[in-house]
Amino acid sequence: MPSITPSLWFDHDLEEAAAFYTSVFPNSRIEGFNRTTEAGPGEPGTVLSGSFVLDGARFIGINGGPQFPFSEAVSFTIGCKDQDEVDYYWERLTDGGEESQCGWCKDRFGLSWQIVPDRLYELIGDPDRARAAAATQAMYGMRKIVVADLERAVAGEFTR
């Protein structure tokens, strides 16, 4: 079966983004960059493209210019085992970026992420529809997902 590799279009900061992402995610590394030569295009030594691995998943990127900025139409989901993991990724990815809602954020490069605790899926999938609805409603009022607040909502104790 062929592999599927996300390809990310950066304005001009692929090298900086790859260094940032590989510092955030475990088991990550930069594979390498392709740079312009004296033949062009652009300034010799400028990064044109490259590849990096984030927690075992390979990504490729290009510095293509500002024509195609990232949008929320594409995002990457980080499944977190607990609140500590949620806090870790949220803090790092929103540093220089921006918070959105329901566990979504954008990093400093404009790439969208969904930082989701496993417990959220358990609670919104609860067979008790009232509990599932309470967890879902609580999530709608959150930026970063807070597991304790979801648990309080399911118990009928959470209000925003």
Query: 3-class DSSP state for residue 80?
Result: strand
CATH architecture of 1-68: Roll (3.10)
What confidence tens digit (pLDDT) does each residue in 30-70 have? 999 999 988 878 889 999 999 999 999 999 999 999 999 99
Poorest-confidence range of 34-43, 105-114, 137-146?
A: 34-43
**DSSP secondary structure string for all residues of 119-149:** HHHHHHT-SSHHHHHHHHHHHHT-SS--HHH
Domains of the chain, by residue range, sit at 1-68, 70-160
Asked if the domains at 1-68 and 70-160 fall in one CATH topology, the answer is: yes
Q: Which pLDDT score is estimated for 2? A: 87
Phi, psi of 66 (to 5 degrees): -80, 5
What span, in angstroms and rounded, lies between the C-alpha atoms of 11 and 64?
6
CATH class of 70-160: alpha beta
- Packing angle of the helix pair 14-24, 83-94 (nearest 10 deg): 160
